[in-house]
């Protein structure tokens, strides 16, 4: 990912910055096309993972739609060239203004998370004389005991409509005349590394699909969400997620009726491995038991380690000295502002460049201006001299 020629070009740029390798993104999208789109699956890219317009334009050019969780994301998706028919709107707390924007733009579908939300969308749609296509986000209650990385598909969390409420919702729907039920939606969590939870999701989705269709509703959209994980430990060895197995599993286990299409909303697995945060060593210092490398990026540029104890690989770009053990830390006055502890990397000196890897998803989008830190640049591989 970082041949000498690239490193030479990166050296001249003001750090820190996000660097996107468009070849990795293109290869990823090619795999998505080969194993997913070619099966007739509809795949929406989750903008919450990354909303850089350059990247969105490339993603759109491969035939993906946009999965948005705010009015801002809907606006961005439209700016990047997605048509309203490509846009789904999800989220547990859609505001009236956001709903009105989505109605006015006539987006493809609202993924709805509560009985009250259905009533609100219905009344806003009625007020402006339109109808909203909706999918019900159902809580599949996929068992977390055995898969603790699943955090959003359980009954006790804030997402989705629980099974106990489903009958009431379905009974009430015919009265909500400005809503058109077109599908059901699930999302079990993020960074799901094994396939087994998705197999469980398929069987729950099949049951619920049959149950709702048997009540006389016609569901054209079966949306199984996103959440497919990436390999943070070995970004070079696994730069492209195993989409063959992922989509193959759904092909094998989802049962679709003739009028139904399978939809996905993938974020991390599409963009995660394309991005790195490039940062410069400001200081090295030795404590009694540790060596620290203080770099010029911090939790303000990449919050995942501080927020989720996430571990990102760190590649040293400009030193080939024998390895030394470091804590790589940022400049912010918070002890959690630490990227990695006790890693063996080539000895570092002030001015060395390092790449914090697998930052394409939930990296740049979560940056903040805490400490009044300056805005940073996004650099794309095809722009380098
Ligand atoms: C976050 C989210 C996604 C995307 O998740 P990834 O783990 O990035 O694939 C898809 N659908 C919903 C409803 C989400 O909240």
Nearest to 296 by CA among 309, 277, 310: 277
Asked whether the beta carbons of 349 and 280 are under 8 A apart, the reply is no
For the cut 50, the answer to whether the pLDDT of residue 150 exceeds it is: no
**Ligand 1 atom with the shortest distance to the CA of 229:** 7
CB 349 within 8 A of CB 284: yes
pLDDT at 327: 97
Which is more confident, 142 or 110?
Answer: 110
Atom of ligand 1 at shortest distance to CA of 227?
7
- Whole-number Å distance, alpha carbon 227 to ligand 1 midpoint, is 6
pLDDT-above-70 percentage for the chain: 96
* Nearest ligand 1 atom to alpha carbon 137: 13
- For the chain, give the mean pLDDT: 95
Q: What is the C-alpha separation between 77 and 90, in angstroms, rounded? A: 14
Q: What average pLDDT score do residues 198-219 get?
A: 97
Atom of ligand 1 nearest to the CA of 69: 15
Report the nearest atom of ligand 1 relative to the CA of 48: 1
pLDDT band, very low/low/confident/very high, at 157 (cuts 50, 70, 90): confident
- Give the pairing type, strands 42-46 and 17-20: unpaired
Summarised one tens digit per residue, pLDDT across range 39-51 is 999 999 999 999 9
Distance 258 CA to ligand 1 centre (A): 27
Distance in Å, CA 280 to ligand 1 centroid:
32
Please say whether the structural domain 23-272 has been given the CATH code 3.40.30.10: no
Angle at 327 between CA 325 and CA 329, to 5 degrees: 150
Q: Is 280 helix (H, G, I), strand (E, B) or coil?
A: strand
What is the CA(68)–ligand 1 centre distance, in A? 10
Please tell me the residue having the least CA distance from ligand 1 atom 8. 267
**How confident is the model over 65-83, as pLDDT tens digits?**
999 999 999 999 999 999 9
- Tell me the average pLDDT across 257-263: 98
Q: How far is the CA of 209 from the centre of ligand 1 (A)?
A: 21
pLDDT for the residue numbered 147:
41
Closest CA to 381 of 64, 17, 38: 17
Residue range(s) in the chain whose domain bears CATH number 3.20.20.10: 23-272
Mean pLDDT of the 121-129 span: 98
Angle ∠(342,343,349) on CA atoms, nearest 5: 105
Is residue 154 scored above 70 in pLDDT? Answer: no
Percent above pLDDT 90 for the chain: 91
Among the residue ranges 102-111, 141-150, 246-255, 334-343, the one predicted with the least confidence is 141-150
Where does the chain hold its CATH 2.40.37.10 domain(s)? 273-383
Across 15-42, average pLDDT: 98
Ligand 1, pocket-test mutation among 28, 45, 46, 247, most atoms within 8 A of CB:
46
* 314-353: pLDDT as tens digits: 999 999 999 999 999 999 999 899 999 999 999 999 999 9
- Residue 159: band (very low, low, confident or very high) from pLDDT cuts 50, 70, 90: confident
User: Ligand 1 pocket: which of 70, 136, 226, 365 to mutate (most atoms <8 Å of CB)?
Assistant: 226
Q: How many CB atoms lie within 10 A of CB 168?
A: 11
**Predicted confidence band at 55 (pLDDT cuts at 50, 70, 90)?**
very high
pLDDT, residue 141, reads 80
**Could you tell me the distance, in angstroms and rounded to a whole number, from the CA of residue 151 to the centre of ligand 1?**
12
Residue 1: per-residue pLDDT:
82
User: What residues line ligand 1, using a CB cutoff of 6 Å?
Assistant: 46, 48-49, 67, 90, 187, 190, 225-228, 265-269, 361
* Residue to mutate, 94, 225, 268, 310, ligand 1, most ligand atoms under 8 Å from C-beta: 225
Structure tokens given for 81: 């060239």
What is the CA(47)–ligand 1 centre distance, in A?
Answer: 9
CA 236 to chain centre: 20
- How far apart are the C-alpha atoms of 358 and 230, rounded to whole Å? 8
How many CB atoms sit inside 10 A of residue 41's CB?
Answer: 18
Dmax (CA) of the chain: 71
End-to-end Cα, the chain, rounded Å: 16
* pLDDT score recorded for residue 90: 97
Question: What mean pLDDT comes out for the span 206-235?
Answer: 97
**Is the model's pLDDT at 149 over the cut of 50?**
no
Between 163 and 83, whose confidence is greater?
83
Q: Say how many Å lie between the CA of residue 104 and the centre of ligand 1.
A: 24
Confidence at residue 222, expressed as pLDDT on a 0 to 100 scale: 98
Nearest residue CA, atom 13 of ligand 1? 187
Answer yes or no: is pLDDT of 218 > 50: yes
- Secondary structure of the chain: what % helix, strand, coil (to 5)? 35, 25, 40
Q: What is the mean pLDDT of residues 141-149?
A: 51
Structure tokens at 138: 């159902």
Contact yes or no for 225/264 (Cβ under 8 A): yes
Q: Please give the Cα distance from 177 to 162 (Å, whole number).
A: 23
**Mean pLDDT calculated for residue range 360-369:** 97
Dist. CA 7 → ligand 1 center (Å): 33
- Integer Cα distance of 100 and 189 in angstroms: 28
Cβ neighbours of residue 325 under 8 Å, at least 6 residues apart?
Answer: 290, 291, 342, 343, 344
Instruction: Spell out the CATH class of 273-383.
Output: mainly beta
Residue 165: pLDDT above 70? yes
Q: What is the mean pLDDT of residues 262-272?
A: 98
Cα(57) to centroid(ligand 1), Å: 19
pLDDT reading at 145 higher than 70: no
pLDDT digits (tens, 9 = 90+) for 93-120: 999 999 999 999 999 999 999 999 999 9
What sign does the dihedral 223-224-229-230 (CA atoms) show?
negative
Asked if 119 and 98 touch (Cβ cutoff 8 Å), the reply is no
Residue 385: per-residue pLDDT: 73
């Amino acid at each position: 990912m970082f041949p000498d020629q690239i490193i030479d070009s990166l050296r001249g740029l003001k750090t820190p910055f996000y660097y996107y390798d468009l070849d990795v993104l293109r290869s990823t999208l090619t795999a998505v096309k080969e194993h997913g789109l070619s099966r007739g699956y509809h795949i929406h890219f989750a903008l919450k993972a990354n909303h850089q317009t350059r990247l969105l334009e490339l993603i759109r050019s491969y035939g993906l739609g946009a999965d948005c969780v705010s009015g801002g994301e809907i606006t961005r998706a439209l700016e990047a060239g997605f048509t309203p028919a490509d846009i789904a709107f999800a989220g547990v707390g859609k505001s009236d203004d956001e709903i009105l924007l989505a109605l006015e733009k006539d987006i493809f579908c609202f993924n709805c998370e509560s009985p009250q939300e259905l009533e609100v969308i219905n009344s806003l749609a009625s007020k402006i004389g339109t109808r909203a296509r909706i999918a019900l986000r159902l809580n599949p209650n996929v068992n977390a005991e055995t898969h603790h990385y699943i955090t959003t598909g359980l009954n006790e969390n804030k997402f989705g409509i629980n099974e106990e409420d489903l009958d009431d919702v379905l009974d009430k729907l015919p009265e909500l005349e400005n809503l058109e039920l077109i599908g059901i939606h699930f999302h079990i969590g993020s960074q799901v590394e094994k396939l087994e939870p998705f197999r469980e999701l398929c069987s729950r989705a099949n049951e619920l699909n049959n149950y709702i269709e048997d009540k006389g509703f016609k569901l054209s959209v079966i949306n199984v969400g996103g959440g497919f994980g990436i390999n943070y430990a070995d970004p070079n060895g696994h730069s492209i997620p195993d989409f063959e197995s992922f989509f193959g599993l759904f092909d094998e286990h989802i049962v679709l009726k003739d009028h139904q299409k399978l939809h996905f909303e993938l974020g991390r697995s599409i963009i995660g491995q394309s991005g790195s945060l490039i940062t410069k060593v400001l200081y090295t210092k030795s404590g009694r038991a540790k060596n620290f490398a203080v770099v010029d990026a911090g939790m303000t540029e990449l919050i995942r380690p501080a927020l989720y104890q996430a571990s990102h690989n760190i590649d040293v770009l400009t030193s080939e000295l024998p390895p030394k053990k470091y804590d790589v830390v940022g400049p912010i006055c918070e002890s959690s502002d630490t990227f990695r502890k006790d890693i063996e990397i080539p000895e570092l000196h002030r001015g060395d460049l390092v790449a914090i890897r697998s930052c394409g998803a939930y990296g740049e989008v979560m940056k903040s201006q805490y400490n009044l830190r300056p805005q940073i640049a996004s650099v794309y591989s095809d722009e380098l001299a």
